[in-house]
Amino acid sequence: MAANFNSQIVFRSSSAASGNDEFTMIRTGAVYDAHAVANGATAGTSTVSKAGSAITSAININGGDKTLARTTSIDDANNAFAVGDVLRVAKSAAVSSDTFISIASTGYSA
């Protein structure tokens, strides 16, 4: 049975080291929010990007355990993605946090 669908998906990037976590998209959609939660005292940033272009502003996570930080902007010219696109969470050195990316996905399922 064919149907239209709308879904909201959250990706969690939880590596403690600097570097990138990448997610390959299996549906089309758009990033509409990103936030980070500190794991212990930490300082650093996380940024969500696609194909080398930032989708979010740098999320500054500077504080103690359980500190919540959000992106202050979403680039509406770059937040949409297609099947096969790779979303990347880039973390600065020594930031110990979980970064959550909220996406909306819509489509048609046959």
Which residues, 6+ apart, have CB-to-CB distance to 31 below 8 Å? Answer: 48, 55, 56, 74, 79, 81, 87, 101, 102, 103
pLDDT tens-digit profile of 30-54? 888 888 888 877 778 889 999 889 9
Position 7 scores a pLDDT of 65
Which domains can be identified in the chain, with CATH numbers?
A: 3-109 (2.60.120.340)
Which 3-state string (H, E, C) describes 32-46?
EEEEEEECCCEEEEE
Position 18 scores a pLDDT of 66
Position 78 scores a pLDDT of 92
Dihedral of alpha carbons 47, 7, 14, 95, sign: positive
Instruction: Find out whether 68 and 35 touch, Cβ atoms under 8 Å.
Output: yes
Which residue, chain included where needed, has tokens 């046959």?
Answer: 110
- 93: part of which helix (H) or strand (E)? none
Tell me the whole-structure pTM to 2 decimals.
Answer: 0.79
Instruction: Find out whether 48 and 86 touch, Cβ atoms under 8 Å.
Output: no
Cα–Cα distance measured from residue 62 to residue 42, given in angstroms and rounded to the nearest whole number: 6
pLDDT in tens, the chain (110 residues): 445 556 666 767 766 666 788 888 888 888 888 888 888 777 788 899 998 899 999 988 888 888 888 999 999 999 898 999 998 888 886 667 777 777 666 554 44
